[in-house]
Amino acid sequence: MKIVLLGCGVVGQGVLDIMDEHPEYGKVAKVLVRNTAAHPDSRVTADPEEVFAEEDIELVVECMGGLEPAHTYVRRALEAGYDVVTSNKKMLAAYYAELQDLAEKNGCDLRYEACVGGGIPWIHELIRLQRIDEVTSFSGIINGTTNYILSQMTEQGSPFADALKQAQEAGYAEADPTDDIDGYDARYKVALSAAAGFGILPDTEKIPCWGIRHVSAGDIAYARENNHTLKLIGSGRLYDDHAELCVMPRMLKNTNLLASVSVNLNGLTAQSTTLGPSSYIGQGAGRYPTAHAVVQDIISIGEGERTAGHCYEMPLNNDLTEEVYYIRTSAAEAFRSAAEVIDGDVIITKKIRYSELLPLLESCGDPELFIASVEE
């Protein structure tokens, strides 16, 4: 199988290394980068026309990241009838419908195992479950950077700023950590998990999304004192006529399997009709775990396995199931109507729907508010 690779950074270089070691699965003929001087390999070019002019391409692997030009190149590949494997969750969450339709129209496969859970075969498993079952819900730790930060704060007592710096030094967090700590990266992954697991097409921007930018040592201590552990959780639940999707910090009971998923690991649980809960833990990012997932997709395509990526529209209902929420804010009085307990700047709410809380969150005027749901 003749392959061209778009992007040769952390993930792309890993893909190139594995494919070069396993030529039985295909040969990478051209590699697109921005700066060729940094890549001493005769296959490397900075000219996309040279890549797409390559004869007999069968598969395009996109590991560039960002929306453009990645989206345009993936479109172009599908329009030309090439199968595509991508690790780019941000781009795919934004253009999923358009690209899957294009893939279907042109008889191509568009695969994205590496987009969620890095090396964990999560997307594959969600699709496989549906051979027998309906996937009814999923939840998990799907961002390794925030899990690393929360683990450092919980286990080492590190302040947030130090834990973030350590995550950056260890290569887990970008110089601009916004996508991770504000929950957007997890939100792309929730959208793609809903596409693979529920067969629905959510508007990613409408998924409620709360991150850990304002988490404090006091929040971690509150969780600990109450036998809970704080994690950033992406979740989805499918009902007959709507779906609930959400990204939110969650104080998990210490007995919850996900509470023990530490450092930069990811942990995901799916609930399906006859299997019940099934959980998966592993490396959610990094060169070789992520490249492994990309290459598994390449092998599946080479073996002729096809995925049905088509999704149907399903309204999102952001009412969300009733929960107890922990809120820390300088505007505690604004939450009196929803509060079970107010203790200084901390509110523990009654069991309420998110839709009841949302107007209070929006009107309280505290940009540094921290919210987490509390597992009962």
Ligand X SMILES: NC(=O)c1ccc[n+]([C@@H]2O[C@H](COP(=O)([O-])OP(=O)(O)OC[C@H]3O[C@@H](n4cnc5c(N)ncnc54)[C@H](OP(=O)(O)O)[C@@H]3O)[C@@H](O)[C@H]2O)c1
Active site residues: 189
Question: Shortest gap between Cβ of 217 and ligand X (angstroms)?
Answer: 28
Q: Smallest distance, Å, CB 193 to ligand X?
A: 14
Is residue 194 packed enough to be buried (19+ CB in 10 Å), middle (13-18) or exposed (0-12)? buried
264 or 349: whose CB is closer to ligand X? 264
Q: What single letter denotes the amino acid at residue 50?
A: E
- Comparing CB distances to ligand X, the nearer of 32 and 181 is 32
Tell me the residue number closest to ligand X, measured at CB.
9
Amino acid found at 16: L
Least Å distance, CB 17 to ligand X, is 13
Q: Which residues contact ligand X (rule: CB under 6 A)?
A: 7-12, 32-35, 38, 63-65, 69, 87-89, 114, 118, 285-286, 290
- What whole-number distance in Å separates Cα of residue 169 and Cα of residue 130? 40
Q: Which is nearer to ligand X, 8 or 190 (CB)?
A: 8
Q: Which of 203, 358, 290 is nearest to 10 (CA)?
A: 290
Closest CB 203 distance from ligand X, rounded Å = 20
Nearest to 115 by CA among 145, 92, 146: 92
9 and 34 Cβ atoms separated by less than 8 Å: no
User: Exposure pattern of 84-96 as b/e (b: 16+ CB <10 Å)?
Assistant: bbbbbbbbbbbbb
Give CA–CA dist 43/329, Å, rounded: 55
| Pick 292 or 328: Cβ nearer ligand X | 292
